[in-house]
């Protein structure tokens, strides 16, 4: 299974799926509005379960399906596979307007020591059936929107942590850091930036810019994407780069941008 990973209304991680069909209804049917938090859930070593909250901010009931997929990266693409290592419960939620639903994320086994495992929580809106009154109307073209929310989940084995502890001190408490390097490659005659992560944990890249010849140009506004441990990802470059080019960006929410090493 291959799904694209991206974005937020949720602020970083929302994917919008829009289906267009011929329906027995009038104009435009809007989807429900769902608020999801936290947007960066983790299960630290020794933590059996975690919580994800869904809140219906719309004016109609929200029927949602919750699935958790293993997340890998290969051939410069995100790849999702079915798994049973982390279970989301309940798998289907019906949330009334203004109400919240707790989704419990439960680890079913022991994670490999010193490793980070990546997952994507996919939350699909189940659209309501058309009413009989609508079916009786004359058929006409309409658009129905179906929302899909995609939230990253990272799970850690013994000896590795994903976040700084409650004291705010990272020290030697096992918080992992990505180790990033980049190079320019050509894909079908167009310049791309390829970023590799040799570190033990993922890198979430935001506000990435290329500095060259006194000018600074963004690769993309806001979130560029993720590079999982041991993986490489590619993004289009704004121009052909030189050995003097500098790639800078924020990694995993750091307050200030950092320069990425250039090389293999």
pLDDT at 20: 31
Say if residue 143 is in the same domain as residue 254: no
The answer to whether residue 164 sits within a structural domain is no
11-31 pLDDT, tens digit each: 333 343 333 333 333 333 445
Q: Quote the pLDDT of residue 140.
A: 58
Cα–Cα distance, 51 to 42 (Å, whole number) = 9
pLDDT at 154: 98
Domain membership of residue 222 as a residue range:
180-262
* Within a domain: 214: yes
* Among candidate residues 93, 121, 156, the one where a domain is terminated: 156
| Pair (194, 255) in one structural domain | yes
Average pLDDT over residues 22-42: 66
Same domain, yes or no: 55 and 126: yes
Here the CATH number for the domain that contains residue 209 is 2.60.40
Let me know whether 111 and 222 are in one domain. no
51-61 average pLDDT score: 95
Q: Where among 121, 156, 191 does a domain terminate?
A: 156
Q: What is the value of pTM for the model shown?
A: 0.83
Rounded mean pLDDT, 93-111: 97
Q: What CATH number did the domain enclosing 137 receive?
A: 2.60.40.10
Q: What is the mean pLDDT of residues 209-214?
A: 90
- According to the model, what pLDDT value does residue 134 have? 56
Q: Are residues 47 and 103 in the same domain?
A: yes
Q: Are residues 39 and 80 in the same domain?
A: yes
Which tops the pLDDT comparison, 135 or 190? Answer: 190
Nearest to 3 by CA among 15, 12, 19: 15
Spell out a b/e string for 11-30, using b for 16 or more CB atoms within 10 Å of the CB, else e.
Answer: ebbbbeeeeeeebbbeeebe
Same domain membership, residue 140 and residue 18: yes
Q: Which pLDDT tens digit goes with each residue over 147-164?
A: 899 999 999 999 999 987
pLDDT confidence of 143, banded at 50, 70, 90?
Answer: low
Query: Does one domain contain both 69 and 146?
Result: yes
120/195 same-domain check = no
Residue 8, domain member (yes or no): no
Q: How confident is the model at residue 242 (pLDDT cuts 50, 70, 90)?
A: confident
- Mean pLDDT for all residues in the chain: 84
User: What local confidence, expressed as pLDDT, does residue 128 receive?
Assistant: 79
Instruction: Kindly state the average pLDDT of the residues 162-188.
Output: 79
- My answer on whether 240 and 141 are in the same domain is no
The pLDDT value recorded for residue 12 is 32
Task: State the DSSP string of 34-66.
Answer: EEEE-SS-EE-TT--EEEEEEEE-SSS-EEEEE
**Structural domains counted in the chain:** 2
Q: Confidence band (pLDDT; 50, 70, 90) for 139?
A: low
Same domain, 127 and 31: yes
Q: Would the pLDDT of 173 be above 70?
A: no
Classify residue 39: in a domain, yes or no. yes
* pLDDT above 80 (res 243): yes
Kindly state whether residues 31 and 143 are assigned to the same domain: yes
- Tell me how far apart the alpha carbons of residues 185 and 240 are, in angstroms, rounded to a whole number: 9
pLDDT of residue 153: 98
């Amino acid at each position: 299974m291959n799904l694209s990973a991206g974005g937020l209304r949720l602020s970083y991680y929302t994917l919008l799926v829009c289906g267009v069909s011929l329906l027995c209804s009038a104009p435009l049917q809007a989807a429900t509005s769902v608020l999801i938090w936290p947007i960066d859930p983790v299960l630290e070593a020794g933590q059996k379960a975690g919580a994800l909250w869904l809140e219906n901010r719309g004016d109609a009931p929200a029927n949602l399906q919750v699935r958790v997929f293993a997340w890998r990266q290969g051939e410069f693409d995100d790849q999702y596979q079915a798994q049973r290592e982390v279970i989301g419960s309940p798998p289907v939620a019906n949330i009334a307007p203004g109400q919240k639903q707790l989704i419990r994320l439960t680890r079913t086994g022991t994670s490999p020591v010193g490793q980070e495992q990546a997952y994507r929580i996919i939350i699909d809106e189940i659209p309501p059936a058309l009413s009989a009154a609508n079916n009786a109307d004359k058929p006409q073209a309409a658009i129905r929107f179906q929302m899909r929310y995609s939230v990253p989940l990272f799970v850690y084995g013994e000896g590795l942590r994903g976040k700084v502890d409650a004291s705010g001190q990272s020290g030697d408490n096992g918080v992992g850091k990505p180790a990033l390097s980049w190079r320019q490659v050509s894909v079908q005659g167009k310049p791309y930036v390829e970023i590799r992560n040799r570190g033990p944990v993922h890198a979430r890249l935001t506000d990435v810019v290329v500095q060259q010849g006194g000018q600074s140009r963004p690769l993309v506004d806001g979130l560029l994407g993720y590079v999982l441990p041991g993986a490489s990802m590619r993004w289009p470059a704004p121009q052909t780069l030189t050995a003097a080019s500098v790639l800078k960006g924020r990694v995993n929410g750091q307050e200030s941008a950092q320069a990425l090493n250039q090389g293999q």
